[in-house]
Amino acid sequence: GSGVLISPEGYIATNNHVIENASEIQVVLYDRRAFKAELLGQDPATDIALLKVEADSLPFVALGNSDNSQIGEWVLAVGYPYSMNTTVTAGIISAKGRSIGIIGRSLSQNPASALPATAIESFIQTDAAINPGNSGGALVNMNGELIGINTAIASLTGSYAGYGFAVPVNLAKKILDDLKEFGSVKRGILGVAFPSPAVEDQYFQQQGMDPSTIKGVFITGIQKGSAADEAGLKEGDIIQRVDSVQLFTSAEFS
């Protein structure tokens, strides 16, 4: 697997599935220095984990703003695929807010590791080549800023087939900050239910609705006594914005 140094003090972001169930974790840098790493925390719901190595003045990547990234923008994927040492591939952002159900499948296959929170997927999709071993590596923009943590591929063969997926850095940053401070992720619960991002178009069609007319997140249920209930949200409402950010799909809302 791969990882990303996010501070000179040795904090490293990676995927949860890279280190899950490991009894010992070793980090090897591009200059062959090796360190024993401490696992500070992990979040199966977003497939993010935070490691720490005891070192100073390490090279690190600056965090960008994944909300500002654009479809068609050039990006680089950096990682360690197939044990081929450090490798960089180039491509574009081909979609944003993707949900492919891969985290949900991993949680159901390993329920002992699952958190009470449901899986959260709002991937950046890229055609930069991502292969087994790239997991946990950096997706960077042309300014060299980290905009995503490479996490998954969509492939019938298990190898690169044109689609790779990265956790947006704006989502990962909240997770990493919580893991650093608390060792676990602190989440608020709004108390709304909505169609699964992977099947929401099918849901609308089954309900006799045209998906193109739903400009936002369609609420299918409200938890009694929740913040949403107290705020007056009702089943059938459509959440169109969070602050000033326009929503089109439930994946963006997640």
Per-residue pLDDT of the chain (254 residues; tens, 9 = 90+): 999 999 999 999 999 999 999 999 999 998 889 999 999 999 999 999 999 999 989 999 999 999 999 999 999 999 999 877 889 999 999 999 888 777 755 555 554 444 444 677 889 999 999 999 999 999 999 999 999 999 988 777 777 777 899 999 999 999 999 999 999 998 878 888 888 776 788 888 988 988 888 888 899 999 998 899 999 999 999 998 888 778 877 767 76
SS (H, E, C) 127-149: CCCCCCCCCCCEEEECCCCEEEE
Q: Assign residue 78 a region (left: φ > 0; alpha: ψ between -120 and 50; beta: otherwise).
A: beta
Let me know if 135 is a catalytic residue: yes
- Record the pTM: 0.79
* List of long-range contacts for 110-114, beta carbons under 8 Å, 24+ apart: 110/20, 110/44, 113/20, 113/21, 113/44, 114/44, 114/45
* Other beta carbons within 10 Å of 47: 28
Q: Which is the catalytic residue, given 2, 17, 106, 122?
A: 17
Q: Which amino acid is at 171?
A: L
Let me know if 17 is a catalytic residue: yes
Q: Which is the catalytic residue, given 2, 43, 47, 99?
A: 47
CA distances from 216 to 25, 187, 191, 203, 234 (A): 42, 22, 17, 14, 15
Q: Which is the catalytic residue, given 99, 135, 250, 254?
A: 135
